A and B are shown apart, each in its own frame.
Chain A
């Protein structure tokens, strides 16, 4: 059984695998952008905060 057949129970039948894969990959890319932005911000905040407490 191919992936295309396996996922054909979803909406869009024989195209379900391709359509949902495309939407899934896009969602994953966008979520990665948000997660890395958040992580960078928190890392920057903590390293700057350390720096400031060393100075004083």
Chain B
């Protein structure tokens, strides 16, 4: 296993691994998404308090968790790139940013849409919402800093430092509902907040589907990034020629 991971530092091996992994992420993702949506929208019963309005939870919670998980992966991969000079870790960090930003947008948008019928407001400047908005700005700052340099190595170095400094925001988001008196509710998962087994299954299915979606998008986007970085090597030229013919 360790040997296999070490071999992924080679761009060619990493590219081939991504190529091979795409169908392995795609089909389980589609399957879990369909089953998860069915469980969320049909099997799960209505909530005793929020009626059917609560069903937004099945996308809101997984995407909010992923928005933080992807950020952690991005910062750790950036750190590995900084410390051990592994270019493929830089690739993972770079392609993770737009995906994480996408999850953050979904979490914020579904939260706003959920907030309107339940709180009577699309947006409040509550600690949880504000810190999640800061996360979106961190992703955007990372992406613009990364694209501001011509040299991908220099870009990776500066933006990785930004990502690592921004890690401080993750515990702030997580504990915001505990540290401050927020309008946003406290933890629903693992605290007895969600008790119905069908709701728990639906949430778990959507969560695993979201992880697979992230892995799928990383392996799709990493291939493009490897081509750009390794465009002067022979194998990329051969691969591009064979793909274009």
- Residues of A participating in the B interface, judged by any CB pair closer than 8 Å: 4, 11-16, 18-19, 21-23, 25-26, 29-30, 32-34, 36-37, 40-41, 44-46, 48-49, 51-52
- Assess whether B52 is in contact with A15, with CB atoms less than 8 Å apart: yes
Number of A-B contacts (CB under 8 A): 91
CB distance from B204 to the nearest CB of A (A): 18
Range of interface residues on chain B? 35 or more
Q: Which of B212-231 contact A (CB under 8 A)?
A: 213, 217, 220-221, 223-224, 227-228, 231
- Assuming A22-B60, A25-B109, is B102 touching A30 (CB within 8 A)? yes
B interface, by DSSP: helix, strand, loop or mixed?
A: helix
Residues B240 and A26 in contact, CB atoms below 8 Å apart: no
From B113-121, B125-133, B166-174, B190-198, give the one contacting chain A: B113-121
Contact: B243 with A45, CB < 8 Å?
A: yes
Contacts of B1 in A (CB 8 A): none
Q: Are A51 and B56 in contact (CB under 8 A)?
A: no
A35 vs B50: C-alpha distance when bound (angstroms)? 35
Please tell me if B110 contacts chain A, counting CB pairs below 8 Å: yes
* A52 closest partner in B (C-beta): B237
B105 at interface by CB-CB < 8 Å = yes
- Residue on A nearest B50 in the bound complex, by CB: A15
The minimal Cβ–Cβ distance linking A47 to chain B, given in whole angstroms, is 9
Kindly name the residue among B60, B223, B244 whose own CB sees the greatest number of chain A CB atoms within 10 A: B244
Closest to A15 in B: B53
